Amino acid sequence: MSADYVLETQNLIKEFKGFTAVDDVSLKIQRGHIHALIGPNGAGKTTVFNLLTKFLTPTSGRILYNGHDITSLQSAAIARKGVVRSFQISAVFPHLSVLENVRIALQRKEGNSFHFWKSEKVLDKLNDRAVELLESVGLGNFAGAKTVDLSYGHKRALEIATTLALEPELMLLDEPTQGMGHEDVDVVADLIKKVSKDRTILMVEHNLHVVSKLADQITVLQRGAILTEGDYETVSADPRVQEAYLGVAVEENGA
């Protein structure tokens, strides 16, 4: 049964002092889906991400990945298993070159990351693969550039290329289009669509246009708990969702 689901959470709870940020969340992420996590600010979306990748430790509940309990694993170990996350603010290495950013991810599987006596030239054999990945996100011409000089949209694309380098089974994207102009939003949305082949994506996203375009399944969070789940039509028709989220969002977009 659980083989259909890449990731499952069972009754996940995270309590901070006097405040329950994530309240009894049981998620099921189906293999091959783009699954969106939406909800108003403070609904606990990012906290859920942090729990899934163990940047925070859950107060109680279980996390299953491919049917195996990964609740007790460390962040880096979860990443090595194939669950790789991005961050709300663009997660790049600003003073490394664009190529080096991707290469850092490729390098891990080489098993030479503690070899301080070797020249970094041994990493050059990864360059072709790195350039390939950069081309797949439209950054082929920027390989030699310093990352800090890239535009915001390009940084997000680089982040996705870096994540792809790990060939993750499950990608967790935290607000991939946040703070972007319209053009960049569409570029990144197309990119997500493109890379979603052969893998599963769980994303936190505020932009409902993007969600409606991409998501196969949507979970709406409110005050840390699941309000409702379903595809875009089902969820957007739910009056509770309209009240809690869509109404507010429409106003915001109109402003």
Q: Which residues bind another protein (CB under 8 A)?
A: 53, 55, 74-77, 79-80, 84-87, 91-96, 100, 103-105, 107-108, 110, 112-120, 122-123, 162, 166
Q: Is 95 or 182 the residue whose CB approaches another protein more closely? A: 95
Strand 68-69, strand 60-65: pairing: antiparallel
Q: Is 10 or 97 the residue whose CB approaches another protein more closely? A: 97
Q: Is 53 or 207 the residue whose CB approaches another protein more closely? A: 53
CB of 75 to another protein, least distance (A): 5
The pair of three-digit structure tokens given for residue 116, joined into one six-digit string: 């301080």
> Virtual CA dihedral for 205, 2, 63, 45, nearest 10 degrees?
10
Per the CB < 8 A criterion, the answer to whether 105 and 80 are in contact is no
How far is CA 181 from its chain centroid? Answer: 20
Per the CB < 8 A criterion, the answer to whether 172 and 203 are in contact is yes
Q: Is 84 or 227 the residue whose CB approaches another protein more closely? A: 84
Burial class (CB in 10 A: 0-12, 13-18, 19+), 83: buried
CB of 116 to another protein, least distance (A): 4
Q: Is 75 or 196 the residue whose CB approaches another protein more closely? A: 75
* CA neighbor of 150 nearest in space, from 128, 211, 105, 160: 160
* CA neighbor of 88 nearest in space, from 173, 181, 174: 174
**Side chain identity, residue 109:** K
Q: Is 112 or 141 the residue whose CB approaches another protein more closely? A: 112
Provide the b/e sequence for 142-172 (b: ≥16 CB within 10 Å). bbeeebeebeebbbbbbbbbbbbbbebbbbb
Q: Is 159 or 205 the residue whose CB approaches another protein more closely? A: 159
